[in-house]
């Protein structure tokens, strides 16, 4: 093996080292032309705190169970080190895929684990910290206070050059969005008022065709077909200035899976971007009426879209 510790995600490899004194360090994404050599490595499964099996659909870059490879002479038996390594892979994948909402949710879900190596985690989150904090504090309905996530907020303050004595955080985000190209993942709200159905019965019927002669092969074909089908659904995120309740409203429409299968493709209302997030997005770029977008993931009752500003 040509590294001490490697973590494999769907598309990438990430390298860590551990010193003789027990210090864990993050080297970064494997950028060499040759693939890492993991011959003879100890193989560890990542924690199931994140698993693609929860989702009806998730982007290809996150459709994986990260694997940890450890060189034979590297000792990762320390409880905190082991705990960190089997959890950090999913967070690395989410940051690399620019999935700000999932990255934030994963960080919060295992915050105590990640903050035992606070400097490492802060370094990993820093390139995408502005977007992650926005998705958590403005995109979600949980009303997370930025002050309750200081590891993130400190990085965001520095990146935004934020000074609370001269502006609000809302204003700082507007200033940032005006000057920068941004990719956000945001959950939809108000989905209960619309009829967009993520899992039509006809898709479940695909499994009726399975037989014992080639169970694995047919299951793989169905998995690939369903993933490609959801990935192909047209997604529109568009300003709704005519909305009498909120001039900053942003509507999300997604192609109907059931209608597409029936041969009648057409967009259906699926929900809205939360008003707090929509206000900042609209006021920072008032002339931008439509936003390049795609379906990021669908899981449980949650529909999440990726939006470029």
pTM for the whole structure: 0.93
Residue pLDDT, tens place only, 236-284: 999 999 999 999 999 999 999 988 988 887 899 999 999 999 999 999 9
Number of domains in the chain: 2
Q: What is the CA radius of gyration of the chain?
A: 21
Same domain, 168 and 187: no
- The Cα–Cα gap between 124 and 126 comes to 6
Residue pLDDT, tens place only, 149-187: 999 999 999 999 999 999 999 999 999 999 999 999 999
Domain end (from 122, 153, 179): 179
Same domain, 175 and 70: yes
Same domain, 187 and 113: no
Same domain, 85 and 189: no
Which domain range does residue 86 map to? 5-179
Domain end (from 149, 179, 209): 179
Same domain, 28 and 156: yes
> Taking 90 as the threshold, does the pLDDT of residue 6 lie above it?
yes
SS in 3 state form for 243-283? Answer: CCCCCCCEEEEEECHHHHHCCCCCEEEEEEECHHHHHHHHH
Same domain, 59 and 147: yes
Same domain, 230 and 137: no
Output the CA–CA distances (angstroms, integers) from residue 240 to 177, 250, 283, in the order listed: 19, 5, 13
């Amino acid at each position: 093996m040509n590294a001490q510790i490697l973590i494999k995600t769907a598309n990438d490899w990430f390298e860590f080292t551990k010193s003789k004194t027990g210090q864990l360090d993050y080297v970064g994404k494997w950028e060499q032309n040759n693939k890492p050599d993991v011959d003879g490595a100890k193989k560890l499964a990542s924690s199931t705190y994140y698993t693609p099996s929860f989702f009806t659909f998730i982007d290809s870059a996150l459709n994986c169970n990260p694997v940890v490879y450890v060189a034979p002479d590297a000792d990762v038996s320390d409880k905190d080190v082991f705990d960190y390594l089997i959890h950090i892979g999913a967070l690395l994948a989410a940051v690399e895929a620019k999935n700000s909402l999932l990255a934030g949710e994963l960080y919060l879900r295992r915050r105590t684990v990640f903050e035992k190596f606070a400097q490492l985690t802060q370094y990993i989150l820093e390139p995408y910290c502005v977007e992650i904090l926005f998705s958590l504090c403005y995109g979600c309905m949980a009303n997370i206070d930025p002050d309750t996530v200081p590891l993130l907020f400190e990085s965001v303050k520095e990146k935004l050059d934020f000074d609370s004595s001269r502006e609000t955080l809302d204003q700082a985000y507007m200033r940032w969005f005006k000057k920068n190209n941004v990719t956000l993942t945001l959950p939809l709200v108000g989905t209960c008022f619309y009829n967009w159905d993520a899992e039509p019965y006809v898709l479940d019927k695909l499994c009726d065709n399975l037989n014992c002669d080639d169970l694995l092969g047919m299951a793989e074909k169905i998995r690939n077909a369903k993933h490609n089908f959801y990935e192909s659904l047209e997604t529109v995120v568009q300003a709704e200035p005519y909305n009498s309740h909120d001039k900053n409203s942003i509507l999300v429409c997604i192609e109907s899976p059931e209608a597409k299968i029936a041969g009648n493709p057409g967009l259906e209302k699926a929900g809205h971007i939360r008003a707090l997030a929509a206000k900042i997005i609209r006021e920072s770029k008032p002339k931008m009426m439509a936003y390049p977008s795609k379906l990021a993931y669908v899981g449980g009752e949650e529909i999440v879209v990726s939006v470029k500003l």
